Amino acid sequence: MTLKEYKKKRKFKKTPEPPPSVAKKARTAMAKKIFVVQKHFARNLHYDFRLEMYGVLKSWAVPKGVPEKPGIKHLAVMVEDHPLEYANFSGVIPQGEYGAGLVEIWDKGTYEMVEATEKAYKIMMHGKILKGEYVLFNFKNDKNWLLFKTKI
């Protein structure tokens, strides 16, 4: 498909319709969000699962890591929002600092929100390792969530 015809028929200084490039960018921005999973060799090894939402990275610490197969539910503890730039971070947090230890990027990619309620997110993951549909389910307080893969 090409947008040549769409373009040819319109004068974008006169119509409020979006020119193709802008429309394409806006769609991409809406549909694709980034996710990252960082392996964090802190006092207790855990994985940090982060989803771009509302301009920040919503973050969960997952002690047992992100399940790669359906049928396994792992605890994910919600932690503070991180800046988007954090998705590119890997390195060593010095001893004595919060979260001291090595952080490495375990997987990274995009995701789509399939369904969102106050208590659950259903997301489609497009990572190198994580692919397919996952659910984050808030089962206790605001902090305690379960993370699992569905059969889709």
Which stretch in 16-24, 39-47, 108-116, 120-128 sits in contact with Mn ion by CB under 5 A? 39-47
50 lies in the binding site for Mn ion (CB under 5 A): no
Q: Write out the DSSP string of 73-117.
A: EEEEEEEEEE-GGGGG--EEEPTTSTT-EEEEEEEEEEEEEEEE-
Contact 124/111 with Cβ under 8 angstroms?
yes
For Mn ion, which is the closer residue by CB, 48 or 107?
48
Strands 101-116, 120-127: pairing kind: antiparallel
Which stretch in 41-49, 50-58, 64-72, 114-122 sits in contact with Mn ion by CB under 5 A? 41-49
State the nearest-atom distance from the C-beta of 40 to Mn ion, in Å.
4
State the nearest-atom distance from the C-beta of 1 to Mn ion, in Å.
43
58 lies in the binding site for Mn ion (CB under 5 A): no
Residue nearest Mn ion (C-beta atom): 40
For Mn ion, which is the closer residue by CB, 47 or 134?
47
Selected from 35, 48, 58, 125, the binder of Mn ion by CB under 5 A is: 48
Q: Report residue 85 CA to chain centroid gap.
A: 13
Total binding residues toward Mn ion, as defined by CB under 5 A: 2
40 lies in the binding site for Mn ion (CB under 5 A): yes
Alpha helices in the chain (DSSP H): 4-8, 20-31
Contact 122/115 with Cβ under 8 angstroms?
yes
State the nearest-atom distance from the C-beta of 43 to Mn ion, in Å.
10
State the nearest-atom distance from the C-beta of 74 to Mn ion, in Å.
15
Angstrom CA distances, 138 to 23, 42, 117, 132, 147, stand at 35, 25, 10, 20, 9
Interface residue list for Mn ion (CB under 5 A): 40, 48
